[in-house]
Amino acid sequence: MTVDTVILASHFQNENCHPDGKIKIGIGPDSAWRWERLENAKRLFAGARAAQVPIVHIQLVVPADMSTVIQNNFIFRQWVKLGAWAEGSWGVEFVDGLEPAGAEKVVTHSRNNGFYGSNLDEILFLYRPRRLICCGVSTAYTVESTVRHATDIGYEVTVAADACSTATQEQHEAALNAMRLIADVATVDELIADFG
């Protein structure tokens, strides 16, 4: 099956999207934009599904005993300290309304970059897309890491800016600005219109 575009939806999970999740970097605990950004992602998913644009969900999961988490930076040390992203926990489940639907593919991994340690390359080979649309939580970590890898291996990439979030609006904008030289940045409304 060959398609022009595939959406990569990264880490729309309870751990970093739900107010009761352990990770507050993806969406700050008091962020006014939490529900707006998640609703935008839901609209993007609905538009993609209506236009038959495949969605690949990237799910962060680590062993419950944290034994394979390499603690080489603050973020990964926090996962261990908080017991976050543990396999089988509520935290790794997809947040309500952003779960995979039907035969949509799910890729699991244990770092920030959606390609690292996953079978994402193999899944994308099934579709052979020209372009990837990236969205998710957090803009500055999983989205930016995945975008950089995707452009390095030859994909045209668009970031769905208002279907992404990070701890602060300033960090979100800084990540978008850093990606503008290697990826297009668009709104959900612009992308849905493009699907049509």
Question: What residue segments make up the domains of the chain, in order of their start?
Answer: 5-195
Is the pLDDT reported for residue 26 higher than 70? no
Give the pLDDT score at 33: 77
- Could you read off the pLDDT of 42-58 as tens digits, one per residue? 999 999 999 999 999 99
String of DSSP letters for 116-147: TTSSHHHHHHHH--SEEEEEEE-IIIIIHHHH
pTM reported for the whole predicted model: 0.96
- Could you read off the pLDDT of 164-188 as tens digits, one per residue? 998 888 999 999 999 999 999 999 9
pLDDT band at 29 (very low <50, low <70, confident <90, very high): low
What is the helix, strand, coil percentage profile of the chain, to 5? Answer: 40, 20, 40
The first and second tokens of residue 122, run together, are: 């193999």
Mean pLDDT of 149-166: 97
Fold of 5-195: Rossmann fold (3.40.50)
Is the pLDDT reported for residue 158 higher than 80? yes
- Could you read off the pLDDT of 62-75 as tens digits, one per residue? 999 999 999 999 99
- Could you read off the pLDDT of 94-137 as tens digits, one per residue? 999 999 999 999 999 999 999 999 999 999 999 999 999 999 99
Question: Do the strands 55-60 and 184-186 form a parallel or antiparallel pair, or are they unpaired?
Answer: unpaired
